[in-house]
Amino acid sequence: MSWLRRLALIALCLGVALGQARATETKRPNVLFIAIDDLNDWVSCLGGHPQVSTPNIDRLAKRGVLFTNAHCQAPICNPSRVSLLTGVRPSTSGVYDLNQPLRSAPALKGAVTLPANFKAGGYHVLGRGKIYHGKPYADEWHDFEVRPDARNKQFRVKTISRLPKIRVRDFGPIDLPEEQFGDVINAQWAAESLQRDFGKPFFMAVGIRLPHVPLYAPQKYFDRHPVKGVTLPRIRPDDLADLPPAGIEITRYMDKTPLNHEAILKTKSWHEAVAAYLACTEFVDRCVGLMLDSLDKSAHANNTIVVLWSDHGWHLGEKQLWAKRSLWEESTRVPLILAGPGLAKGQCSRSVQLLDLYPTLAELCRLAKPPQTLEGHSLLPLLRQPSASWAHPAITTFHRNDHTVRSERWRYIRYANGDEELYDHSSDADEWHNLAKRLEYRPVIADLKSHLPKVNAPNAPSR
């Protein structure tokens, strides 16, 4: 065989191999990964508040599977996000608080994060906004940028609410065009990027900062919620009466800040705070809509999985608590939606957790197994059939050895000092009645307790 024919044959083989590789790549779905900060169940499709309107999140929910009983791994930003992005529980990693960097945790040495795995798997990996709590690791992305949020200038100049010394936890309308809000800027960047051809599948992460404090949005979003007509959360004046000492201690955290229940009541600001959260949530929905509209018009419309999640919930007076940092439903429950090619449509009431996203996306996108053990479970059975059986409760950890186990019916809380709480969600969705001391529920507690983490790692190093 002449060298020319040999060269032609080699070229043909290379061409076939390249064509096969490209064909394989086109079969793998893209991922639009939308992370929302501090969004609780106050979205229309979850029914968390009767006056909220979130048509864009709702239409995404109708396209795929809406998990109505999804929970975070930690009710605070950094450990929740570290857990999701590594697939490792806070109790295993020792990352329990805000100032513990992922790469400083001995248990996570060598761990491959979700975006890094996508990058290693041949995806084009890009993002904007808050994905990590803090700056992203540049080596995990092809393109990532975090920009300052112009809305944060307001509380540094003059606060809006009546609470004294409120600063970053301020709330109310501000005179800033929505095009200058960081969330709109990031959503528009995503909308533009979705029109690109990357030549390979992409993983696009977009972090939406609201409704994290300060609860600022343009006036038009507040106009939809006149203060006098705002519906407040359902509460009981004696709700704390049956809490153990460790539970009471959790409700005292925000007392050390200007945003606490006593200050809200004293300044008669409850309606304004609720209106601000509703306005910011609807502003977030607007940002989601910008991305979905662009995706629908793009060449990627039929080959993109959309994942929408929040890192934890938020209290607005329930159990006399504000913000997050608790092991109750308002802190742990989060919106979670997966929609895309080959996935079912419907609602799923099984208890799932953000920890499940890493193994789920790894399976859907055929990523390599990372060196660390993924402690969640692939949601693929539920994404194929939302009513499928599911034997895994959701576990949330707040501080070392403080855990809650959430099944489809029950919430069990076990604090480090041995204090316990038990709530039956089939009859007590507000978690008003702590059943832990009633003898007839000891078998229930014993079953739920068996799911508590067996490892409670020491605190990872802080910054």
**What residues are labeled active site?**
77, 133
Task: Give Rg (Cα) of the chain.
Answer: 23
The angle, 0 to 180 degrees and rounded to 10, between the axes of the packed helices 270-297 and 182-193 is 10
Rounded CA separation 325/248 (Å): 12
Rounded CA separation 248/408 (Å): 25
How many other β-carbons are positioned within 10 Å of the β-carbon of residue 19?
10
3-state secondary structure of 289: helix
Which residues have a Cβ under 8 Å from the Cβ of 24 and sit 6 or more positions away? none
How many other β-carbons are positioned within 10 Å of the β-carbon of residue 142?
15
Which residues have a Cβ under 8 Å from the Cβ of 19 and sit 6 or more positions away? none
* DSSP assignment string, 398-425: -STT-EEEE-SSEEEEE-TTS-EEEEET
3-state secondary structure of 196: coil
Q: Is 284 left (phi over 0), alpha (psi -120 to 50) or beta?
A: alpha
Kindly report each contact of residues 130-136 with a partner whose C-beta sits within 8 Å and lies 24 or more positions away, as own/partner. Answer: 130/35, 130/37, 130/207, 130/208, 130/209, 131/33, 131/35, 131/81, 131/85, 131/205, 131/207, 132/81, 132/82, 132/85, 132/102, 133/77, 133/78, 133/81, 133/82, 133/98, 134/78, 134/101
Rounded CA separation 7/10 (Å): 5
Q: Print burial letters for 203-235: b (CB count within 10 Å at least 16), e (below 16).
A: bbbbbbbbbbbbbbbbeebbeebeeeebeebee
Rounded CA separation 283/336 (Å): 18
Tell me the C-alpha to C-alpha distance, in Å, between residue 381 and each of 196, 384, 454.
Answer: 32, 5, 26
**DSSP-based helix, strand, coil % in the chain, nearest 5:** 40, 15, 45
Rounded CA separation 416/400 (Å): 7
